[in-house]
Amino acid sequence: KQEVTQIPAALSVPEGENLVLNCSFTDSAIYNLQWFRQDPGKGLTSLLLIQSSQREQTSGRLNASLDKSSGRSTLYIAASQPGDSATYLCAVRRSSSNTGKLIFGQGTTLQVKP
Amino acid sequence: DAGVTQSPTHLIKTRGQQVTLRCSPKSGHDTVSWYQQALGQGPQFIFQYYEEEERQRGNFPDRFSGHQFPNYSSELNVNALLLGDSALYLCASSYGLVSDTQYFGPGTRLTVL
């Protein structure tokens, strides 16, 4: 059974810091991995998607890496801003046919202080 | 272009009651998935609908059922509500069964007293 874990559960940093969020998964047989952002009481917004054949993806100040063999992914946020405060969730998809069934971690709640 | 919409926004029910939540997918999307997100947890997959049929189901009891209409909108029904059903219910839509891109709605916050 695939399990996804995110550490830490919460993180508070001053504005301008670079930071890393961690995601680990128990079964390396994944199709892809996504990082989402969730603002309080809101839905999810996809930030980055990494296919199983890729090592990393970048979008602006965000960089996500994937190491299937070790069952790990990291989300790197450069020069953090107060607007980055949110909960960040990683999710894995197990196969090309299970398009809807994403398995999520419990999330890391980030607070960036001005 | 409207994204995924869900109604109602908030709902309060008592134990034993039944509830229906609604979802309209993003324009052009034909596949709808439902997730339950308990407070402080990640979303858990409930089921997915495509061509008006349930295609996949997560580890949820039969009290959770759904429906998809010809216009691709969907309903989630929960019978015999339990306190533990209190959660944010998220709907996600995509085009086809194999798309990597899912768009999530804002969710319906269900409180069971």
Condensed to tens digits (0 to 9), the pLDDT of residues B50-67 reads 999 999 999 999 999 999
3-state DSSP assignment of residue A27: coil
- Burial level of A62, CB count in 10 A (0-12/13-18/19+)? middle
Residues A37/A87, Cβ–Cβ less than 8 Å: yes
Nearest to B106 among A6, A32, A43 (CB): A43
Give the position of tokens 């804002």. B106
With beta carbons under 8 A apart, name residues in chain A contacting B105: 43
User: Which positions of chain A have pLDDT values less than 70?
Assistant: 97-100
The C-alpha atoms of residue A92 and residue B3 are separated, in whole angstroms, by 23
Q: Report chain A's terminal Cα–Cα distance, integer Å.
A: 41
With beta carbons under 8 A apart, name residues in chain A contacting B97: 97, 99-100
User: Touching check for B98 and chain A: CB below 8 Å?
Assistant: yes
Nearest to A106 among B41, B99, B104 (CB): B41
pLDDT at B1 (0 to 100): 65
Would residue A60 be called left, alpha or beta, if left means φ above 0 and alpha means ψ between -120 and 50 degrees? left
The C-alpha atoms of residue A34 and residue A12 are separated, in whole angstroms, by 23
User: In chain A, whose CA is at the least distance from the CA of B109?
Assistant: A41
Residues B81/B18, Cβ–Cβ less than 8 Å: yes
C-alpha distance from B84 to closest chain A C-alpha (Å):
17
Nearest to B56 among A91, A100, A103 (CB): A100
User: Touching check for B41 and chain A: CB below 8 Å?
Assistant: yes
Nearest to A101 among B40, B58, B104 (CB): B58
3-state DSSP assignment of residue A80: coil
C-alpha distance from B85 to closest chain A C-alpha (Å):
17
Q: Which two tokens stand for residue B10?
A: 């908030």
pLDDT at B100 (0 to 100): 80
> Over chain B, what HEC string results?
CCCCEEECCEEEECCCCCEEEEEECCCCCCEEEEEEECCCCCCEEEEEEECCEEEEECCCCCCEEEEECCCCCEEEEECCCCHHHCEEEEEEEECCCCCCCCEECCCEEEEEC
In 10 A of CB A73, how many CB atoms?
Answer: 27
User: Which positions of chain B have pLDDT values less than 50?
Assistant: none
C-alpha distance from B94 to closest chain A C-alpha (Å):
8
